[in-house]
Each structure stands twice: as structure tokens, then as C-alpha cells.
């Protein structure tokens, strides 16, 4: 069944990803209801209707499903049971199964391992005793990550040795964790893939991602890698989407090892920060693809028309008050996106900008230089 423009769509989650979905849907003539527990949120403010409730609130879920033709999520920590409940009376994508895997690092690694995808060596830590095993010792130096609810580097601590590991575990409140071996990375990549209701697949170009303190800082697209490696990453992303029988937009994050071997870091059952460049640099954005997959529409071309570099704007930039946006706006090929969040906390994603090079769809050098120059000016203001 195709859900045609004019219909009401629903989104679970009110963050910036939800907001950009709402804008893409509204541009195509849909109306959108957002459900989020906080009263003021980027998507809640932009939506046609807003339900302020917990993601497990049964009457709120009933209201949402009664007024929406189809529902998606912008946030992987939606209780899978809520998606299951909504799916009884509504089109829901991605489905509870895919989200339940992506929201739990243990389930995610087991799924990827079972299907033969390469991942970093890891061990599941259920209790303190699990550190005493040889398996754990072999994983040092490593990174301890809580199995659920971690994001933007939160809920993870690195540990060089056993002493640091015990301290890290205590800092993470003895939560169920995975201990992952620290990998010497050449670079990090991500691929956003859209899979439609009939199984149609469209991958976006590969992003090359640079992180600071576990938070995405810059995405360079297309990634400065060989065609072969790019195709390999895109093929893996498609295969994961197929194995999950996924419907919607999925992001696969990769580690590139020194020998160009690809490991899968994690998957996100939604559009991704590293795909924001697609709004300005591709024929179809990742958010429009999300609308199209949700509504059973044909997918748009994900072709990139301009080389692009995206830079995140974190709350740290607000230390001396509102940054001078003219530093971004004075570059005619820089596109400023602000999420309208009222409180600028350090590490909080407040917005991003994308610098384009419309002369080329492959050479990112100039856009990168300009993006970094803008970043330095913003930081020193
Ligand atoms: P999040 O859910 O917060 O995005 P990730 O597991 O993706 O958590 O980790 C965030 C970042 O931390 C990664 O993008 C990478 O830069 C670094 N990182 C995580 N795990 C490892 C690892 N095993 N080896 C090296 N770097 C890592
Ligand atoms: Mg990540």
C-alpha cells in the first residue's frame, strides 16, 4: 500500500533527526505527528501535531497510531515493544526486530558475527568476574561500552590495563557491557542505505568521518578512499539491510584498519549524522528517502552532485555566547543548519554546516579547507 501525500505520518523522537524528517515529509505534502517525552524539542516544534509522552505510554501510542498512516523512528532507543504495538494497527518502519538489534551492542555484535560480517574482537561483560578470563585480558587495551543507551561516545571508557578496566566498569555503574579491543584505525567510514518496501536498495556515497572524543566532528564526502573500498563498504551495507529484511534508512559505521580491511563498528536504524551532507549535496536527502521508504514510494536518486564537507556545531561553541553565524553565511557555498535547541551544553549537537564544491562531485580538498577555516574562526570567536 502506498501512503500518498496529505496523509499524517508519525515519528518517535523529537531530536534533530526527527526534525529533518518532518521537514522532508512536509515538503512532500505530508503532515507529521511527533511523540517525545520532552515538552520542547526540535521535531516537536516543527511537527503539525505533538504528543508529549513517554515512548512506552500505552494511551499515547494508541493516539499516535489512530491518527497516523505510518510511523517511523529517529532514535534507536525506542522500546521495541512500542514499535510492535504500533505495528498492529499501522505501517511501522524500521520494524521492532531491526531496532531491537541496533539498540543493543550485544545483540548487534551477535547478529553481525552470525551472518559473517567482520567486527572488532569483543567480550560480553555481565559481571565483574568476566574480567578475570583470558578472553578479557586479550582485549586490552580496549574500550568498555555499555550495551544499551550509549551515544556520541557516552557510556564508554577506554582501559589500557586491568586496573583501568575495573575503574571503567565502576564508572559505568557495573552495567552490562561489551569490552572491545582498541583497534588502530586508518580511518572511519559510514554508508547510509535506503531499502524500500519492495526491497529496492539505494546507497548514498561513502562518508569519511573524523571524531573528537567519540563524537562526530567532520564528514568528508565522498570519502578519500579507493573506488574498490567504497564499493565494498556499500555492498556490505546493502547485505546487512537485506539480512535484517530492513525497511527504511539504515547507517552502517565502519572502521578501516591499516591494511584497508573493513570492520563494522555499529549500525543505526535511522538516518545518521554522517549523512546530513545529503540534504545539500545529493539529489535526494537521507530524510526524503526515509519518507519514501516509509510511504512505499519509489526511492529517489541518492547521487551526489557536489563534493561536500559537513562540520558539527557542538554546544562548546556557545561558551562565549551565540557564535557569529556570519562566519558561515559569508561563504555562499556553506549551508547552515541550526536545530533550535535552547540549552547549549558541551558535547551537545546544536547544528551543523555543510560546505559544497559545486565544480566537482569527487574532489573534497577545497571544501575541506574552507570548512576547517570556518571552524577555526568559530572556535576563536
Ligand atoms: P557511539 O554509539 O557513541 O557512536 P561508537 O561505538 O561508534 O559509539 O564509538 C564512538 C567512536 O569511538 C568511534 O567512532 C571511534 O572513533 C571510537 N572507537 C569506538 N570503538 C573503538 C575501537 N574498538 N577501536 C578504536 N576506536 C574506537
Ligand atoms: Mg558510533
Q: 199 alpha carbon to ligand 1 midpoint, in Å?
A: 30
* 150 ligand 1 Cβ < 6 A: yes
| pLDDT at residue 62, as a whole number | 98
| pLDDT at residue 131, as a whole number | 85
Beta bridge partners of 313: 351
Fold adopted by 8-92: Rossmann fold (3.40.50)
Query: Distance between CA 230 and CA 207 in Å, rounded?
Result: 9
Query: Distance between CA 58 and CA 36 in Å, rounded?
Result: 13
Which atom of ligand 1 approaches the CA of 209 most closely? 14
281-307 as b/e: b if 16+ CB within 10 A: bbebbbbbbbbbbbbbbebbebebebb
- Give mean pLDDT, residues 268-278: 98
Beta bridge partners of 156: 145
3-class DSSP assignment, residue 116: coil
pLDDT at 136 over 90: no
Q: How confident is the model at residue 150 (pLDDT cuts 50, 70, 90)?
A: confident
DSSP state string for 282-340: BSS-HHHHHHHHHHTPPPPP--B-SEEEEEEEEGGGGTTSS--THHHHTSTTEEEEE--
Q: How far apart are the first and last CA of the chain?
A: 52
* 153 ligand 1 Cβ < 6 A: yes
* 257 ligand 1 Cβ < 6 A: no
Place of cell 547478529: 111
Query: Distance between CA 160 and CA 140 in Å, rounded?
Result: 6
Please state, for a pLDDT cut of 90, what percent of the chain lies above it: 95
Q: 265 alpha carbon to ligand 1 midpoint, in Å?
A: 7
Query: Distance between CA 38 and CA 146 in Å, rounded?
Result: 24
Q: How confident is the model at residue 227 (pLDDT cuts 50, 70, 90)?
A: very high
Phi, psi (5° rounding) for residue 361? Answer: -110, 5
Domain-by-domain residue ranges, the chain? 8-92, 121-181, 185-380
CA angle 345, 349, 355 (to 5 degrees): 135
| pLDDT at residue 359, as a whole number | 98
Among all bound ligands, the one having the nearest atom to the CA of 147 is 1
Distance of CA 299 to the CA centre of its chain: 20
Beta bridge partners of 142: 159, 181
Q: How confident is the model at residue 273 (pLDDT cuts 50, 70, 90)?
A: very high
| pLDDT at residue 143, as a whole number | 96
Can 8-92 and 185-380 be said to share one CATH topology? no
Q: 252 alpha carbon to ligand 2 midpoint, in Å?
A: 9
Mutate to test the pocket of ligand 1, among 108, 155, 172, 214 (most ligand atoms within 8 A of CB): 214
* 266 ligand 1 Cβ < 6 A: yes
pTM for the model = 0.97
Per-residue pLDDT tens digits for 64-115: 999 999 999 999 999 999 999 999 999 999 999 999 999 999 999 999 999 9
Q: 348 alpha carbon to ligand 1 midpoint, in Å?
A: 17
* 61 ligand 1 Cβ < 6 A: no
* 108 ligand 1 Cβ < 6 A: no
Per-residue pLDDT tens digits for 324-355: 999 999 999 999 999 999 999 999 999 999 99
* 76 ligand 1 Cβ < 6 A: no
185-380 homologous superfamily: ATP-grasp fold, B domain (3.30.470.20)
| pLDDT at residue 381, as a whole number | 82
Least confident of 133-147, 254-268, 294-308: 133-147
DSSP-derived pairing of the beta strands 49-52 and 307-314: unpaired
Phi, psi (5° rounding) for residue 67? Answer: -105, -5
121-181 homologous superfamily: ATP-grasp fold, A domain (3.30.1490.20)
Query: With contact defined as beta carbons under 8 Å apart, do 190 and 275 qualify?
Result: yes
Which atom of ligand 1 approaches the CA of 152 most closely? 3
Query: Distance between CA 14 and CA 3 in Å, rounded?
Result: 22
Amino acid at each position: 500500500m502506498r501512503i500518498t501525500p496529505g496523509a499524517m505520518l508519525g515519528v518517535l523522537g523529537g531530536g534533530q533527526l526527527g526534525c529533518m524528517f518532518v521537514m522532508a515529509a512536509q515538503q512532500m505534502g505530508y503532515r507529521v505527528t511527533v511523540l517525545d517525552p520532552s515538552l520542547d524539542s526540535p521535531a516537536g516544534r516543527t511537527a503539525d501535531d505533538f504528543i508529549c509522552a513517554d515512548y512506552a505510554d500505552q494511551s499515547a501510542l494508541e493516539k499516535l497510531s489512530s491518527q497516523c498512516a505510518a510511523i517511523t523512528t529517529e532514535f534507536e532507543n525506542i522500546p521495541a515493544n512500542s514499535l510492535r504495538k504500533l505495528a498492529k494497527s499501522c505501517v511501522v518502519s524500521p520494524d521492532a526486530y531491526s531496532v531491537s538489534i541496533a539498540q543493543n551492542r550485544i545483540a548487534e555484535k551477535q547478529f553481525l558475527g552470525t551472518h559473517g560480517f567482520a567486527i572488532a574482537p569483543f567480550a560480553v561483560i555481565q559481571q565483574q568476574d568476566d574480567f578475570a578470563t583470558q578472553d578479557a585480558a586479550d582485549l586490552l587495551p580496549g574500550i568498555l561500552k555499555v550495551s544499551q543507551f550509549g551515544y556520541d561516545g557516552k557510556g564508554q571508557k577506554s582501559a589500557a590495563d586491568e586496573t583501568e578496566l575495573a575503574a571503567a566498569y565502576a564508572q559505568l555503574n557495573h552495567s552490562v557491557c561489551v569490552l572491545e579491543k582498541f583497534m588502530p584505525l586508518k580511518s572511519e567510514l559510514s554508508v547510509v542505505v535506503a531499502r524500500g518496501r519492495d526491497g529496492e536498495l539505494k546507497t548514498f556515497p561513502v562518508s569519511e568521518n573524523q571524531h573528537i572524543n567519540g563524537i562526530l566532528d567532520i564528514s568528508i564526502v565522498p570519502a578519500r578512499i579507493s573506488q574498490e573500498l567504497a564499493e565494498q563498504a556499500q555492498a556490505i551495507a546493502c547485505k546487512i539491510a537485506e539480512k535484517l529484511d530492513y525497511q527504511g534508512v539504515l547507517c552502517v559505521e565502519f572502521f578501516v584498519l591499516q591494511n584497508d580491511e573493513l570492520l563494522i563498528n555499529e549500525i543505526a536504524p535511522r538516518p545518521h549524522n554522517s549523512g546530513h551532507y545529503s540534504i545539500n549535496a545529493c539529489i535526494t536527502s537521507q530524510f526524503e528517502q526515509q519518507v519514501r521508504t516509509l510511504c512505499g514510494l519509489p526511492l529517489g536518486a541518492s547521487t551526489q552532485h557536489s563534493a561536500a564537507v559537513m562540520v558539527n556545531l557542538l554546544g562548546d561553541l556557545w561558551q562565549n555566547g551565540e557564535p557569529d553565524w556570519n562566519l558561515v553565511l559569508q561563504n555562499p557555498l556553506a549551508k547552515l543548519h541550526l536545530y533550535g535547541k535552547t540549552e547549549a551544553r558541551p558535547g551537545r549537537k546544536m547544528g551543523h554546516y555543510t560546505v559544497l564544491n559545486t565544480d566537482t562531485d569527487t574532489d573534497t580538498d577545497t571544501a575541506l579547507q574552507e570548512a576547517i577555516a570556518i571552524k577555526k574562526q568559530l572556535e576563536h570567536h
